[in-house]
Amino acid sequence: MDSNQSKQAAVWQVINAIPRGRVASYGQVARLAGLGRAARFVGRTLKQLPPDTQLPWHRVIRSDGHLGLPIESEGFKRQKERLAEEGVNMIGSRVSMRHYGWDA
């Protein structure tokens, strides 16, 4: 039922609250959304996002600093370019969460 929608909305709100030039991990978003360790749910939610979404999903990456999408994927390129545009540089295929990690 709408329970899922409620969680999804919570995830969207958290992601939308991520400041520019910062990145948050799936687990971080899930935790802030009150989902606990449901990081998988966050990934599923982002994958089901519409192509015309206004949500800054590109600011959501894995805890390893690695992006959630495959390097050969188009979404990865888009995310990488977006992050670079916000001032977030990447080391190879990884992000320096050490300094860019969202400190909520």
Partner DNA sequence: TTCGTGACGTGCA
Partner DNA sequence: GTGCACGCCACGA
Whether residue 95 contacts residue 61, with contact meaning beta carbons closer than 8 Å, is answered with yes
Stretch that binds DNA, among 11-19, 36-44, 82-90 (CB under 7 A): 36-44
Report in angstroms how near the CB of residue 40 gets to DNA at its nearest.
4
Among 33, 42, 88, 95, binds DNA (CB under 7 A): 42
Report in angstroms how near the CB of residue 54 gets to DNA at its nearest.
13
Distance between CA atoms of residues 17 and 56, nearest Å: 9
101 lies in the binding site for DNA (CB under 7 A): no
Size of the site for DNA (CB under 7 A): 30
Report in angstroms how near the CB of residue 36 gets to DNA at its nearest.
6
Binding site for DNA (CB under 7 A): 3-4, 7, 25-28, 35-44, 46-47, 49, 57, 60, 62-64, 67-69, 75, 79
